């Protein structure tokens, strides 16, 4: 099963990113496990330097910006 991690401390931008990820999964019908990672040490260990960030199957797809819905749909459809 696909694993998606949304990295961020819980700010509004991070919450919006998580909502976009969940909406993309819903609209594409893709099954995935979504995990919210807010631990600073876990973010650093993953190489996240700016939030919000999204990783699909441990591959960082974006960092430091809110992804567009179409971007996320492409990521989840290709994985």
6-78 has which CATH code? Answer: 3.40.30.10
Q: Output the average pLDDT for the chain.
A: 95
Q: Average pLDDT, stretch 52-71?
A: 97
Of 78, 76, 3, 8, nearest to 43 (Cα)?
Answer: 8
Residues that are catalytic: 11, 14
Give the global pTM: 0.94
Q: Cα 75 to the chain's mean position, in Å?
A: 10
pLDDT bin (cut points 50, 70, 90) of residue 79 is low
């Amino acid at each position: 099963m696909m694993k998606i991690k949304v990295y961020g401390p819980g700010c509004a931008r991070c919450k919006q990113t998580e909502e976009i990820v969940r909406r993309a999964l819903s609209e594409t019908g893709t099954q995935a496990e979504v995990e919210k990672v807010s631990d600073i040490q876990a973010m650093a260990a993953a190489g996240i330097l700016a939030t919000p960030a999204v990783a699909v199957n441990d591959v960082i797809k974006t960092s430091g910006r809110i992804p567009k819905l179409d971007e996320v749909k492409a990521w989840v459809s290709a994985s």
